Amino acid sequence: MAEDIQQVKCLIIGSGPAGYTAAVYAARANMSPVLYTGPEPGGQLMITTDVENYPGYPEGIMGPQMMEDFRKQAERFGTDVRYELISKVDFTGPVHKAWTESGQEIHANSIIISTGASAKWLGLESEKRLTNKGVSACAVCDGFFFRGMETAIVGGGDTAAEEALYLSKLSPKVHMLVRRDELRASKIMQERVMNTKNIEIHWNTETEEILGEEEVEGVRIINNQTKETSVIPVKGFFVAIGHKPNTAIFKDWLDMDETGYIVTKGKTTKTNIKGVFASGDAQDNVYRQAVTAAGTGCMAALDAERYLTEEGVI
């Protein structure tokens, strides 16, 4: 049985760098934010080990510890953090409605979406077992750890090409595993990859198994035309077959691009619905970094504060 309707000034859907940063700013602006963490409190950083590229942590920090720090800071200023999932929304009226999985109905004057995006994986048992032990879905985040070592990257689109080029500056050899006989990347990215001497493209190639017990030691590949298998000795294995934004519950209400990323207006976090703002990887299919997510979380809270002030709520 649903509980009584709860009224909130600012509802933040999702945690991670964007959600927690939005919460810090919203709480300090007397917006009394209520944050629902979603199914993975802390987001993708909860499955990230060493974070060395976030300012303010000169020695680096573990992803889960970083998110714990963010959460504590948000709570310090009065954010109400709740470990539950928002499963449905209704943006028809001036007051926005949301429902938790347990049936709690919430009426919010403003909503900040920070539900993030999830990396697409190959679905191999060895991939899951060796995640953060040489397997990663972000070369920009983790490539540094494989400086001077051979690496492999799966994918044939722009993201895979960009990450292969990034790795080529760190690795003596980058093996690019492409399922088809051509790249899907833009022409300019294809040219850059083809002209980079230490990138070797393996055409018509799929991953059978990532090898190693405690860390990645190699990858067994199969040519999907000849069925010939071979082993490449690598220490880093990167999956770059795309990300899926966690935005399904908003599809009937918000403008999105063809892949499901929420479209925001100009240099703001405003969506097509007044009082609803989007931040982090749910609306960013380009940068997808913790620091950029935190930045848009800040922007969303400031946009929401201005909106609530104009509406006379605060």
Please give the positions annotated as active site: 138, 141-142
Single out the residue of 2, 14, 34 nearest to residue 86, CA to CA. 14
For residue 130, give both structure tokens: 């060796």
Q: 3-state DSSP call for residue 90?
A: strand
Cα distances (angstroms) measured from residue 76 to each of 14, 20, 280, 298, 301 = 18, 11, 22, 17, 17
- The shares of helix, strand and coil residues in the chain, as percent rounded to the nearest 5, are 30, 25, 45
Single out the residue of 17, 99, 95 nearest to residue 53, CA to CA. 17
Q: How far apart are CA 44 and CA 26, in angstroms?
A: 23
Single out the residue of 107, 199, 41 nearest to residue 190, CA to CA. 199
